[in-house]
């Protein structure tokens, strides 16, 4: 397996020195040419998550926050960091270097033109991977309609100094309860494993909402929420 090497001098780069800096900024998004890597098990679904349409994310290529215009399948980070799950920090190497995805193959940190040209094109979708699985795709579509990140941003944008109005708060809470219960029921019934959920349905709202300023409370076993607008630390595209 190819190792990364840290450069000893700060000379301008003209070729990849395998320093791993790009891997620390986040795993790549997958494209249609990466489908065989998933289908043949080189990249397991448990290592993926879906950045859902309408979620806010940091566009590392454009250099600013943006609303995601379409679902994006990405390789997970490590724990709470965005460092690609396949990056081995101790050995400074990619654990799947020979089978790394298309974005990693074209990325040249000293000249991002090739990546810029391809990174919004031909993205792999959940439909490409699971549309043939009986019942599962319909469930994903239903969840996407009921947990709509564009609608969430719209609700949060209407908040005043006192936070969300009762209707907006109730609508948001209904989405959170549905999102939680669907995941719990599918795992309880053995339909999916917990590590497949973030790929199938995106990350849970209990994870995506707090960076936007939503806090969750529990009182007498009841889940509640409050909202204070925040400048969030958001995932990279
Ligand atoms: S797949 Fe490998 S090369 Fe690509 S970001 Fe992850 S560790 Fe780096």
With contact defined as beta carbons under 8 Å apart, do 67 and 55 qualify?
A: yes
pLDDT of residue 1: 39
Q: Whose CA is nearest to atom 7 of ligand 1?
A: 87
Q: Is 23 in the pocket of ligand 1 (CB under 6 A)?
A: yes
Strands (E), the chain: 48-51, 56-59, 64-67, 72-75, 87-88, 93-94, 214-219, 222-227
| Planar angle of CA 145, 151, 156, nearest 5 degrees | 150
pLDDT of residue 200: 97
Contacts of 193 (CB under 8 A, 6+ apart): 46, 187
Type and span of the H or E element at 179: helix 166-188
Closest to 201 measured CA to CA, from 182, 174, 173 = 182
pLDDT of residue 2: 44
**Whole-angstrom distance, CA of residue 177 vs CA of residue 156:** 17
Share the mean pLDDT of the chain: 88
Closest to 225 measured CA to CA, from 182, 176, 161, 179 = 176
Q: Whose CA is nearest to atom 1 of ligand 1?
A: 100
From ligand 1's centre to the CA of 87, what distance in Å? 6
Type and span of the H or E element at 169: helix 166-188
**Whole-angstrom distance, CA of residue 75 vs CA of residue 30:** 8
> Judging by beta carbons within 10 Å of its beta carbon (0-12, 13-18, 19+), is residue 173 exposed, middle or buried?
middle
Q: Is 47 in the pocket of ligand 1 (CB under 6 A)?
A: no
pLDDT of residue 96: 96
User: Alpha carbon 211 to chain centroid distance?
Assistant: 14
Give the domain ranges of the chain.
Answer: 21-126, 132-227
pLDDT of residue 134: 82
User: Alpha carbon 67 to chain centroid distance?
Assistant: 13
Closest to 74 measured CA to CA, from 139, 126, 24 = 126
Q: Is 100 in the pocket of ligand 1 (CB under 6 A)?
A: yes
Residue 48: pLDDT over 90: yes
DSSP, collapsed to helix, strand or coil, labels residue 77 as strand
pLDDT of residue 122: 94
Q: Whose CA is nearest to atom 5 of ligand 1?
A: 23
With contact defined as beta carbons under 8 Å apart, do 192 and 186 qualify?
A: yes
Atom of ligand 1 nearest to the CA of 103: 4
pTM for the complete prediction?
A: 0.86
pLDDT in tens, 82-106: 999 999 999 989 999 999 999 999 9
Number of alpha carbons in the 13 Å side-chain half-sphere of residue 164: 23
């Amino acid at each position: 397996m190819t190792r990364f090497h840290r450069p000893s001098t700060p000379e301008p780069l003209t070729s990849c020195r395998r320093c791993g800096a790009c891997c620390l900024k986040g795993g790549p998004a997958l494209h249609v040419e990466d489908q065989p890597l998933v289908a043949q098990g080189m990249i397991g679904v448990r290592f993926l998550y879906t950045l859902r349409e309408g979620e806010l994310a940091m566009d590392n290529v454009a250099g600013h926050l943006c609303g995601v215009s379409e679902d994006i399948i990405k390789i997970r980070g490590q724990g709470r960091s965005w460092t690609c799950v396949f990056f081995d920090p101790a050995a400074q190497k990619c654990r799947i270097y020979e089978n790394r995805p298309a974005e990693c193959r074209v990325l040249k940190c000293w000249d991002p033109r090739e990546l810029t040209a391809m990174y919004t094109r031909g993205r792999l979708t959940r439909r490409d991977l699971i549309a043939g699985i009986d019942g599962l795709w319909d469930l994903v579509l239903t969840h996407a309609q009921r947990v709509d990140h564009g609608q969430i941003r719209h609700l949060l944008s209407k908040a005043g100094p006192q936070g969300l109005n009762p209707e907006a708060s109730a609508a948001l809470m209904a989405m959170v309860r549905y999102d939680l219960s669907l995941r719990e029921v599918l795992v309880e019934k053995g339909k999916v494993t917990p590590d497949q959920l973030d790929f199938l349905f995106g990350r849970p709202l209990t994870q995506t909402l707090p960076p936007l300023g939503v806090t969750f409370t529990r009182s007498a076993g009841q889940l509640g929420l409050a909202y204070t607008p925040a400048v969030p630390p958001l995932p990279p595209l």
